[in-house]
Structure 1
Amino acid sequence: MKTEIYFVRHAHSTYTPEELTRPLSEKGMRDARRVTRILELENLDHVVSSPFLRAVQTVEGTAASLNQDVILLDGFKERLLSSAPLDDFQGAIRKVWEEPSFHWEGGESNVDAQKRGVAAMLDLLNEFEGKRVVVGTHGNIMVLIMNHFDPRYGLAFWENLDMPDVYRLTFDGVDLVGVSRLWEPFSEEEESQ
């Protein structure tokens, strides 16, 4: 029985040091409305999300269109890279992908973050087998989960994600059998209109 998981990487957010309550920016809110329009065509069953506000805000329009609440699941929250700000974010990300067991001070290694995310995904596949489920999440944890099922999804894939981005993952049981991108970014010209 096929299960469809729609990974939605959150839209652009307004930076605040508090991860949990960081909201979407105006652009992020516009893009979240586009995400809702894209997903309305997919005959969905449920909407779950990381508890982080920016992820919830990106998928709450989809939940509203289904007359449902967003189900919050900790396993899909973004990986904690470090307990303190890092000077070179890109370099810090590269390091944890190159050395999966390495972690920055107070942060999660790729191994630990992936274990958490995959456990959440396997629970979801079990609970909602045969359904179509939207998952509001974050770029790094999303790619770590995808990487568990198919190693082609790694650092280079993460570096090319948009914000937001939408991928439909098709599972047969717990086997990933298909991935397709649903998000179509605007060109700069379309964006300014």
Structure 2
Amino acid sequence: MKKLYIVRHCEAEGQEQEAPLTPTGRKQAEALADFLEPLNIDRIVSSPFLRALQSIEPLAIRIDEQMYLDDRLAERKLCDREIDDWLEKLKASFEDMDICLEGGESSNEAMDRVVEALEESIRTKDEHIVFVLHGNIMALLLKHFDPSFGFKEWKQLSNPDVFEVQLENGNASVSRIWNKR
């Protein structure tokens, strides 16, 4: 049985690619490492965004595991410019997965790329794999496994957050494990 740990990054100073973790986020990263360390992690795959890397770095150091960077785990680009009603547009993109705003990507496009990255890692010999990513792309990945996962569930995600996906005989079971500490 493969176990995948889908991890949302810790609290960050912003949404830009180079936004670092806040001081609270750094403490959260240590708590995240405490939480994940006993799970026998074989592989760490991370978004290249700084906040994702800083969130998982304490674990990687503790277990002496290389971090593989994968651009396909980067946050979804909703639009190429700031929009005042972005929350309503995001909600609409969960209802119609093909909506694509100017310069952005649809939910289906984003889901396809993150699922491709996940499937590639699943084909490795590794049994316990951590994927570190961002809220919107995380929600879309979880929606791949559970079609009922949507905007409401996205709004309930925390920083950090951890879901466990157990894969066995082509079946997946998903559970949120971070709040069950």
**Is 1:5 aligned to residue 4 of structure 2?**
yes
Deviations 1:10-44 (Å, cap 9, x if unpaired)? 1111026xx32111111111111110000012111
Report 1:56-135 matches (<5 A). 56-128=53-125, 131-135=127-131
**Is 1:170 aligned to residue 166 of structure 2?**
yes
Q: Structure 1 vs Structure 2: percent identity of aligned residues?
A: 34
**Is 1:158 aligned to residue 124 of structure 2?**
no
Q: Which runs of 5+ in 2 are unaligned?
A: none
Report 1:28-47 matches (<5 A). 28-47=25-44
Change (3 A) 1:169 1:185: closer
Cα distance in 2 for residues equivalent to 1:106 and 1:89: 14
Cα distance in 2 for residues equivalent to 1:173 and 1:83: 40
Cα distance in 2 for residues equivalent to 1:185 and 1:86: 36
Deviations 1:142-180 (Å, cap 9, x if unpaired)? 11112112212222211110111011111125431x222
**Is 1:49 aligned to residue 46 of structure 2?**
yes
Q: Is the CA contact (8 Å cut-off) linking 1:47 and 1:62 kept in structure 2?
A: no
**Is 1:140 aligned to residue 136 of structure 2?**
yes
Shift of 1:89: 2.5
Q: Is the CA contact (8 Å cut-off) linking 2:10 and 2:159 kept in structure 1?
A: yes
Deviations 1:32-80 (Å, cap 9, x if unpaired)? 1110000012111111101111111111111111112211011111111
Cα distance in 2 for residues equivalent to 1:23 and 1:174: 37
Instruction: Out of 167-176 and 70-79, give the one that drifted further.
Output: 167-176
Q: Is the CA contact (8 Å cut-off) linking 2:11 and 2:22 kept in structure 1?
A: yes
Cα distance in 2 for residues equivalent to 1:128 and 1:152: 30
Cα distance in 2 for residues equivalent to 1:88 and 1:71: 35
Cα distance in 2 for residues equivalent to 1:30 and 1:175: 35
Identify which of 174, 179, 182 aligns with 2:174.
179
Instruction: Out of 167-176 and 103-112, give the one that drifted further.
Output: 167-176
* TM-score normalised per structure 2: 0.93
